[in-house]
């Protein structure tokens, strides 16, 4: 599998063209599936969640970014209403990875961080960045063998992975998601685990369906491959606008000089 970091990132082309309201965004994420009572309560409150994020960060966000960001926010908000949902740092790593890759190249780093803060605050999961960083630091000190042998060792992250394994086996709440799959792959990437069988072994140790992980990582790669197209379109649009402004600014002094010369010609 190619490393995620080798893939191009930007916003989806379809997202650049899609202009949903917050209300329609809440409906669209359900994918036509009938929601249970718990999820319906979540769908009613999702508009409030998105509104909280937008209220917290008041500056306009280019639609190429805002559409996908709202989609991510809505997905995670509805996910929280699943009866089996329980937050974990592997999910946090995947969520942060997706956000950072999506927002790569955003004009302002300060704005990018402020947007992230507003979104995780709206989700009431403000620790995701810190949890993701802890997972990243741990993974950098591992290799493929150490990564899959977490159950035989002691440590903070090892305990987290053991807990996930037990819950995924049915001994507690566990809700698999695409963010979790990305988090797993990020662990492999940071630990330089290039052997294809490492992901198989890690999924087995965590009691995660490997087919689901493969499917979701393939979908994720396909989305990432489309992101660069939309960003290129945005870049071309901005450059064309800049060139038009430059031409207007260049012509404006010429008109002023022509008017000035005409007026001077009238002076005896």
Model pLDDT, residue 258:
53
pTM (2 d.p.): 0.73
**Which residues of the chain are modeled with pLDDT < 50?**
1-42, 259, 263-264, 266, 268
Model pLDDT, residue 53:
81
| Triad 108, 110, 113: Cα angle to 5° | 110
Model pLDDT, residue 24:
35
pLDDT tens-digit profile of 211-231?
999 999 888 887 777 777 777
Q: Roughly what angle, to the nearest 10 degrees, separates helices 37-56 and 109-122?
A: 150
pLDDT tens-digit profile of 178-209?
899 999 999 999 999 988 899 999 999 999 99
Alpha-carbon span 114 to 130, nearest angstrom: 15
68 touches 109 (CB < 8 A): no
DSSP annotation of 169 reads: I
Model pLDDT, residue 121:
87
């Amino acid at each position: 599998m190619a490393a995620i970091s080798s893939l191009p990132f930007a916003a989806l082309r379809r997202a650049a063209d899609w202009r949903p309201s917050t209300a329609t965004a809440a409906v669209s994420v359900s994918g036509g599936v009938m929601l249970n009572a718990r999820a319906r309560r979540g769908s009613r409150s999702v508009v409030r969640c998105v509104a909280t994020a937008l209220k917290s960060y008041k500056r306009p966000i280019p639609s190429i970014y805002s559409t996908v960001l709202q989609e991510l926010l809505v997905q995670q908000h509805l996910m929280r209403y699943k009866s089996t949902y329980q937050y974990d740092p592997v999910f946090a790593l995947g969520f942060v990875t997706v956000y950072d890759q999506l927002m790569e190249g955003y004009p302002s780093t300060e704005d990018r961080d402020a947007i992230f803060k507003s979104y995780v605050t709206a989700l009431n999961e403000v620790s995701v960045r810190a949890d993701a960083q802890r997972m990243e630091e741990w993974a950098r000190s591992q290799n493929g063998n150490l990564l899959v042998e977490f159950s035989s060792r002691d440590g903070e992250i090892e305990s987290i992975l053991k807990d996930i394994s037990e819950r995924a086996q049915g001994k507690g709440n566990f809700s698999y998601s695409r963010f979790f799959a990305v988090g797993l792959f990020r662990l492999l990437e940071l630990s330089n685990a290039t052997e294809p069988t490492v992901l198989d072994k890690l999924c087995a140790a965590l009691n995660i369906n490997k087919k689901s992980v493969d499917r979701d990582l393939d979908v994720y790669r396909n989305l990432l491959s489309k992101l660069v197209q939309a960003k290129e379109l945005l870049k071309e649009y901005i450059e064309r606008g800049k060139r038009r402004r430059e031409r207007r600014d260049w012509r404006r002094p010429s008109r002023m000089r022509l008017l000035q010369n005409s007026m001077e010609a009238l002076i005896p």
